Amino acid sequence: MHERAGMKKKLLLLGMLVATPAMAATDANLTVLAVGSQSSVGGYIVVSPTTSGSCPGNLIYIDTSTDSGRGMLSIALTARASARPIARVDYTGGGAGICNMTLIQL
């Protein structure tokens, strides 16, 4: 039964991704409140103030399966550990869909 619930969540997420038009956004001077990792998703950050792209929960996900994604995660960790604001972050998605990081700069 647990596998069935997991499959339903994946199908729901896929449906949301298909139904949500892709958009790109850039934000500046964000504070990283949290950095984490989630099974099957990769890394993520929680930022403040609210993202201009209306990322749900102010979460921006990072694809840690690539070298560039792991580099972005290390920069996010540096920002969190040093309490430095992010000078610039670019991402796709938003609105009702998830946000995926494409660039981060301290």
Q: Which residues of 69-101 are buried (b: 16+ CB within 10 A; e: fewer)?
A: beebbebbeebbeeeeebeebbbebbbebbbbb
Which residue reads 């994604």 in tokens? 69
Dist CA 10 CA 37 (whole Å): 17
Task: Please write the tens of the pLDDT for every residue from 87-103.
Answer: 999 999 877 689 999 99
Residue 22 DSSP one-character state: P
Strand partners, 4: none
Task: Please write the tens of the pLDDT for every residue from 19-71.
Answer: 445 588 999 999 999 999 988 889 999 999 999 888 999 999 999 999 999 99
Question: Where are the chain's structural domains?
Answer: 22-105
pTM for the model stands at 0.76
